[in-house]
Every structure is written in structure tokens, then in C-alpha cells.
Amino acid sequence: MSYVPSLISLVFGSVLLASGCARPAPFEGGEELGEQGAPVSGSPTDNQRIILNGLPTAFFEAYRTSLISLAGGSLTSHAAVKSGLIQSQDGRQLLGYIAKCALGWDDKLNVSYQGSTYHFEGGVGLASNWKDGALTASEKRWVSACLLAHANAFGIQVPLSLRGDHPALATTPEEVVQYPVEEGAFYGDLFEESGSAAMFACPGLGFKDACEAESNEWLDVRVCAMGAGSVSECGFYVPGDCYDFAAPSPGACSEIEGDGYGACRPTMDPDEPAYAEVITVYLKRSEGSACGSEI
């Protein structure tokens, strides 16, 4: 499997109205008047875009019914209203992340509700055809992986480099240099209709680097993939390390090529069905860091 890394460079100002400034802290939620003023690094065509995380993890269960409703049809203004997400500040924040993960950088979702029009900008493009019909099973898992990757237990913004086996997850050599610290992998299905939401993560090589683990301020506030055989602070089940080069068993994921993991499982059982739709997150080093190894 060939893994093509991705950097995404837009600030997640998830919900805005018709004219003003971008919201500085997506964790706070809410809408502001104005065009989205998200700074873009490079032109949209070179795919050099970084999306900041900060999505509260409690949203996934709180709005589970809304997510399932959205996935069952085209992503339209009517569907957004019907799902109920547009009705609250938190729901609109989640809808902003959904649009960023699903739609391309040159697309947006406009939602009219109670006399106001909300604009949700696209970004990554993992389900760019969602406006034309319901999500496929694979698209559900790709969008889920993206949402899980952007979750933050503390609501702190952290710039992320997303990498994985999807055409929308493309990167540049500059990005690879700027984002060398492998945090971990994220996978699951937030749109699954039966049972609870499937939310999984596994720690990557950055947590095994003693220097990075001790001094990296970005890694320090990214705890959703921490643990082994337990539930992380974000509510994601962490079966174990993504990949263990020393052990007979490869780890939670059985495929690795380039900068991304693939075939990641909910448990460490090698016979467990695996997710092909996996997003591996890379972080920056702390400013002035003396860490030099990428493990």
C-alpha cells in the first residue's frame, strides 16, 4: 500500500456569517459575522494547508444521532438543519469540522437557518462528492478518521500534518521537514448506526523518542493516542503501539509504508478485521528543540 502524506494549512474557523473576522479559537464555538479570514499558507493548488485541531471529544457521542442523520443523504443546507447541528454553537462547530474534513478547499457548505446564512469552508476533501449523495462506507471511515485526528482533550489548537493512503492527503517535501514528529494513527467510524461510535487510536514513534516525549510542547497536549489496552483521555480505545519493530506481532497496524500506517485494528489480535482508512498525524518540534532524531 502506498502512503501519500498530507499537510493541511487552514485555521478551523468553523462557523461564520456574512461579514467580519475569523474566530481565533475554534474550541470556543459560535458564529461570527463575516467571510472566513483563515490564513492560507501557499496557494490552494499546491495543497500546502495546515488545519489546527481543537475539536472537543465529547461532541462525537453528544451528536451521534446528528452524524448518522447527515451521513444518510447529501450534505445540503436542508440536511444540516434536519440533523440539528445548525441549532447550537457546539453543533455548528462540529459541522465546521465535518465540512473541513469532507469537502475540498474550493468548496463550502452554505446553511440557511432562522434568517441567517452560515458558511462552512471545505479543506481536506476526503468525501468531496458528499453533496451529491450519501456517504459510502469508506467515506464514512475517512471522514471519521479526520475528525478523530482533530480532537483535542484540552481544546488546545495544534497544527497537524495529516498523512494517509488517500488522494486528498498529499504533501510536499517542505511539509515533511517541518512536521517530523509522528504522533500516532486515528481510525474508526463515527457514523456507524449500531452500537456506540467506533473510535480508535494508537501511539506512533514520537512517543518512543525520549527527547520528544520529554520536551515537545505539541506532543504534550496531544493525548488522544496515548495508552495501551485502555481508553485514552479522549475516549478513544488504544489497543497498543501502532507498530512494534521489535516484537513478533507488528502492533495495532499491520501495514506501514512511507509516512503512514494502514490496516489498523481495534485490538492487538492479528485476526481482527482491520480499517483501511487510517490517518497518521505528524507534529512540529518545539521551537528551539535540540531533538534531532525522528526515530
Mean pLDDT of the region 218-243: 92
CA distances, 221 to each of 151, 217, 218, 224, 250 (Å): 11, 7, 6, 9, 27
The answer to whether residue 295 is domain-embedded is no
Mean pLDDT of the region 271-280: 95
**pLDDT reported for residue 268:** 93
| Cα–Cα distance for residue pair 198/193, rounded to 1 Å | 10
pTM of the model: 0.83
At residue 288 the predicted structure's pLDDT band, cuts being 50, 70 and 90, is low
Report the 3 state secondary structure along the chain. CCCEECEEEECCCCCECCCCCCCCCHHHCCCECCCCCCCCCCCHHHCEEEEECCECCCHHHHCHHHHHHHHCCCCCHHHHHHHCHHHCHHHHHHHHHHHHHHCECCCEEEEEECCEEEEEECEECCCCCHHHCCCCHHHHHHHHHHHHHCECCCCCCCEEEEEECCCCCCCCHHHHHHCCEEEEEEEEECCCCCCCCEEEEEECHHHHCHHHHHHCHHHHCCCCCCCCCEECCCCCEECCCCCCCCCCCCCCEEEEECCEEEEECCCCCCCCCCECCCEEEEECCCCCCCCCCCC
The answer to whether residue 253 is domain-embedded is yes
The model's pLDDT over 76-121, given as tens digits with 9 standing for 90+, comes to 999 999 999 999 999 999 999 999 999 999 999 999 999 999 999 9
Contacts made by residues 142-145, CB under 8 angstroms, sequence distance 24+: 142/166, 142/277, 142/279, 143/98, 143/101, 143/102, 143/190, 143/191, 144/187, 144/188, 144/189, 144/190, 144/191, 144/198, 144/277, 145/186, 145/187, 145/188, 145/275, 145/277, 145/278, 145/279
The answer to whether residue 78 is domain-embedded is yes
CA distances, 225 to each of 60, 184, 266 (Å): 16, 6, 13
The answer to whether residue 236 is domain-embedded is yes
| Cα–Cα distance for residue pair 184/201, rounded to 1 Å | 7
The answer to whether residue 293 is domain-embedded is no
Least confident of 146-150, 251-255, 288-292: 288-292
- The residue among 32, 15, 68, 45 whose CA lies nearest residue 189 is 68
Note the maximum CA span of the chain.
61
Mean pLDDT of the region 8-31: 33
Residue 222 corresponds to which cell in the numbers above? 496531544
Q: Please state the domain count of the chain.
A: 1
**Which residues lie across from 49 on neighbouring strands?**
8
Phi-psi region of 114 (alpha: psi -120 to 50; beta: other; left: phi over 0): left
Domain limits at 182? 4-283
Mean pLDDT of the region 128-144: 97
The answer to whether residue 194 is domain-embedded is yes
Query: What percent of the chain stands above pLDDT 70?
Result: 79
**Which residues lie across from 45 on neighbouring strands?**
none
At residue 50 the predicted structure's pLDDT band, cuts being 50, 70 and 90, is low
Mean pLDDT of the region 70-74: 96
At residue 194 the predicted structure's pLDDT band, cuts being 50, 70 and 90, is confident
**pLDDT reported for residue 290:** 65
